[in-house]
């Protein structure tokens, strides 16, 4: 038990050691600074308020895109999983959107809607909706028909069925879509900010890329990775554990 | 009075049920027997309103309950909530009384997965009788139980039916069960135009 808890810590420590060795071999802070060379820069950005401002801007975009992609993807996946006819109609669309490069959608949204917040969030949402829909569709196909029959016999209302019969069966699929969704969405948000926003972690990375400032690129990247790991550990994992409580009781 | 007048039922053009007509009086218990795969469960699903795609007419009361072959419980909800969710009008103390009646009192907060198969079947029975049904449908309710548990469940079901007097139709392969519970036995037999009632 103790060994299994220690393994991730050792794994991260070895990654850090590898970084230190690589930084020592390159011996050029402009190409690859050591971890401790980032600390003063991190403190400086934090004290100036820039770090929090840009983290906040990215986090708001991630939250919007995540909420929209999960809501639309869940509804779409549920409908496609439950209705063969609808699935036959929408499946080719899904395949096209799944294979459309993220960059193409982002550029088209900026070209058609303009360099606006709405375009940025739309582009990220459209990139993620097909993935969520595919996962939820599998969940909807795996719904237990006997429980459906039971709900029908006992004349459960639509809302009661969704809340007590359908959603608990979909919960593992929603959790899987949410966890992979958060990981993918924040990466796409950074690209969207890189290409067409004047705030956010992606914008800062763009700025420091033009100045060839690797250290600042790493400061902003690691700061946001920290935020997303916190979201994963404090929100997503506890929510997933709660939804699986009945399995382990 | 429950009346069943089915003209036909088919799956993808393949006839499963032919003309079937019978009545069940209030408080009467009917057993439905016949070889495996002949369409007994299909007939029950039509009667329960689960399968509306058939030719004919079925008149049934609104207050209908069903005991499925498997317990068909909500594994993610507690024992108590497995009674309260299908019967939102049921008060929690009445639900607890029902659980005690079927012999699983004190297990309200457990999940169904924490109960034995016999206890899960008792819960399924409690759910069926919780709101005094006018009609009860049971699909091989004692299948896959050991003889001792099956006998206990049979006795419990007998007692609950005599307390609540629903019109009951149940499928069984066990003629001893049919004799014990039913006042009439319907037999399904196979014909080219689907299963019909035999003599």
Task: State the DSSP string of chain B.
Answer: -EEEEEEEEEETTEEEE--EEEEE-TT-EEEEE--TTSSHHHHHHHHHTS---SEEEEE--SSEEEE-SS----TTS-HHHHHHTT-TTS-HHHHHHHHHHTT-TT-TTS-GGGS-HHHHHHHHHHHHHTT--SEEEEESTTTT--HHHHHHHHHHHHHHHHHH--EEEEE-S-HHHHHHH-SEEEEEE--TT-BEE--
Contact criterion met (CB < 8 Å) for A246 and B50: no
**Residue B75 contacts A, CB cutoff 8 Å:** yes
Q: What is the bridge-based pairing of β-strands B184-189 and B29-33? A: parallel
Measured between beta carbons, which residues in chain A are less than 8 angstroms from residue B74?
147, 164-165, 168
pLDDT of residue A2: 64
- Interatomic CA distance for residues B83 and B130, integer angstroms: 7
pLDDT of residue B32: 92
pLDDT of residue B119: 93
The pLDDT of residue B192 is above 60: yes
Give residue-wise pLDDT tens across range B89-99: 999 999 999 99
Supply the CATH number for residue A216's domain.
Answer: 1.10.3720.10
The pLDDT of residue B129 is above 70: yes
pLDDT of residue B65: 93
Structure-model confidence comparison of residues B198 and A20, the more confident one: A20
Q: Which of B28, B37, B31 is CA-nearest to residue B177?
A: B31
Contact criterion met (CB < 8 Å) for A249 and B111: yes
Contact criterion met (CB < 8 Å) for B74 and A168: yes
What residue in A sits closest to B130 (Cα-Cα)? A154
- Interatomic CA distance for residues A122 and A127, integer angstroms: 9
Domain ranges (residues) in chain B: 1-63+133-199, 76-131
Within 10 angstroms of residue A9's Cβ, the number of other Cβ atoms is 9
Interface test with A, best of B86, B128, B139, B169 (most A CBs within 10 A): B86
Q: How many domains does chain A have?
A: 1
Interface test with A, best of B64, B70, B85 (most A CBs within 10 A): B85
pLDDT of residue A116: 92
Measured between beta carbons, which residues in chain B are less than 8 angstroms from residue A151?
86
Q: What token pair was written down for A12?
A: 């991260």
Q: Which of A177, A212, A145 is CA-nearest to residue A70?
A: A177
**Residue B68 contacts A, CB cutoff 8 Å:** yes
Nearest Cα of chain A lies from the Cα of B159 at a distance, in angstroms, of: 22
Q: Which of A162, A198, A195 is CA-nearest to residue A57?
A: A198
**Which parts of chain A sit beneath pLDDT 50?**
none
- Answer yes or no: is A3 within a domain: no
pLDDT of residue B28: 94
pLDDT of residue A181: 85
- Answer yes or no: is A75 within a domain: yes
Q: Which of B40, B45, B55, B41 is CA-nearest to residue B5?
A: B55
Measured between beta carbons, which residues in chain A are less than 8 angstroms from residue B66?
150, 153
pLDDT of residue A24: 92
pLDDT of residue B36: 87
Q: What is the mean pLDDT of residues B108-121?
A: 92
pLDDT of residue A206: 93
Give residue-wise pLDDT tens across range A37-90: 999 999 999 999 999 999 999 999 999 999 999 999 999 999 999 999 999 999
Q: What token pair was written down for B70?
A: 């498997």
pLDDT of residue A229: 85
H or E, element range at A72: helix A50-82
Instruction: Identify whether the C-beta of residue B181 lies closer than 8 Å to the C-beta of residue B31.
Output: yes
The highest-level CATH class for domain B1-63+133-199 is alpha beta
Q: What token pair was written down for A45?
A: 């950005």
pLDDT of residue A218: 93
Nearest Cα of chain A lies from the Cα of B64 at a distance, in angstroms, of: 7
């Amino acid at each position: 038990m103790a060994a299994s808890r220690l393994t991730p810590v050792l794994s991260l420590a070895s990654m850090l050691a590898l970084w230190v060795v690589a930084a020592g071999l390159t011996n050029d802070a402009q190409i690859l600074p050591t971890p401790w060379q980032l600390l003063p820069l991190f403190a400086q950005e934090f004290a100036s308020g820039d770090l929090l401002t840009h983290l906040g801007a990215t986090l708001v975009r991630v939250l919007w895109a995540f909420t929209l992609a999960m809501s639309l993807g869940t509804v779409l996946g549920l409908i496609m999983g439950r209705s063969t006819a609808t699935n036959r109609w929408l499946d080719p669309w899904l395949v096209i959107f799944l294979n459309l490069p993220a960059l193409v959608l982002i550029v088209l949204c900026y070209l058609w809607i303009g360099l606006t917040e709405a375009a940025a969030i739309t582009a990220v949402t459209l990139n993620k909706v097909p993935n969520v829909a595919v996962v939820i569709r599998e969940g909807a196909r795996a719904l237990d028909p006997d429980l459906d029959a039971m709900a029908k016999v006992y004349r459960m209302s639509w809302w009661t069925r969704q809340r007590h019969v359908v959603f608990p069966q979909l919960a593992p699929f929603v959790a899987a879509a949410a966890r992979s969704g958060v990981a993918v969405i924040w990466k796409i948000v950074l690209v969207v900010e890189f290409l067409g926003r004047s705030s956010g972690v992606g914008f800062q990375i763009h700025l420091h890329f033009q100045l060839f400032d690797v250290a600042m690129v790493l400061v902003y990247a690691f700061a946001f990775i920290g935020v997303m790991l916190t979201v994963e550990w404090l929100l997503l994992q506890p929510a997933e554990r709660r939804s699986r409580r009945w399995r382990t009781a | 009075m429950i009346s069943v007048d089915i003209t036909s039922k088919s799956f993808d053009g393949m006839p499963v049920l032919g003309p079937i007509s019978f009545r069940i009086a209030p408080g009467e218990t009917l057993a439905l027997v016949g070889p495996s795969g002949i369409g007994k469960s299909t007939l029950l699903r039509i009667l329960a309103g689960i399968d509306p795609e058939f030719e004919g007419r079925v008149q049934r009361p609104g207050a209908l309950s069903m005991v499925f072959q498997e317990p068909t419980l909500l594994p993610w909800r507690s024992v108590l909530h497995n009674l309260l969710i299908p019967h939102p009008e049921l008060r929690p103390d009445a639900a607890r009384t029902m659980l005690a009646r079927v012999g699983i009192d004190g297990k309200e907060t457990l999940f169904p997965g924490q109960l034995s198969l016999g206890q899960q079947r008792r819960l399924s029975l409690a759910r069926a009788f919780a709101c005094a049904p006018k009609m009860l449908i049971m699909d091989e309710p004692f299948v896959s139980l050991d003889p001792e548990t099956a006998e206990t469940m049979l006795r419990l079901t007998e007692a609950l039916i005599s307390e609540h007097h629903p019109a009951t139709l149940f499928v069984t392969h066990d003629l001893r069960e049919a004799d014990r519970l039913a006042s009439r036995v319907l037999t399904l037999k196979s014909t080219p135009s689907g299963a019909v009632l035999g003599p």
